[in-house]
Structure 1
Amino acid sequence: MMRQSDREGFFERVYDAVRQIPEGSVATYGQIAALIGEPRRARYVGFALHANPYPGEVPCHRVVFADGRICEGFAFGGPQAQRTLLEDEGVAFRDGTHVDLDACRWPAGL
């Protein structure tokens, strides 16, 4: 469990990293965790994004699971809202719930 002050610093580092994901690209929770120097904290990345105090500024919809799956409980309107936001940016999907990571994964940290 993280202390409150540690969590706030972690969350801000997550938001800073996610702000850098370009339109039309996605990153995974684990990729963001690794980019901020916390490779074993992918789940905490999800907690941070669920609590995002900067909607519209931090593009949470560009973060997906390691297998490319979009989030079933996407905080801003459910999985269809996440899918629509990604499709509007040109992100390709393999099927109804998985983005094509080979085609649209942000290469940072890989």
Structure 2
Amino acid sequence: MDKRRLHITFCHRKPERSLFWRGKQFPVCARCTGIHIGYITFPLFMFNFFTLNVWWTLALILPTYIDGITQVFFKRESNNFLRVTTGLMAGIGGMSLVAIIGKYIGNQILLIFK
């Protein structure tokens, strides 16, 4: 077996990568906490209170991947503030992307029945 094999560990439930509220540890890591908080923005995108084009949407998602990948490949340690911030951006970007794709599919279906 190759000893140089990539060894990825997940950070959920690691105290140093989790947030705490009133002495209780969150069930997911700081990054995923930010992502889940970002999911709350979905109605804003779905009902056109706020819109982003696909490039801004992807730009919001990218920092999370950069942070995670650089931690794995360059043995860099992120901090919880950066994890929550990039996670929040990814959650918002993800919901914008879901709305963009959903609206596109909906419009395509409406065109079929015209």
Asked if these proteins are the same fold (TM beyond 0.5), I'd say no
Structure richer in helix, relative to its length = 2
Structure richer in strand, relative to its length = 2
Larger relative contact order, structure 1 or 2 (CA cutoff 8 Å, min sep 6): 2
Tell me which structure has the larger Cα radius of gyration. Answer: 2
TM-score (norm 2): 0.28
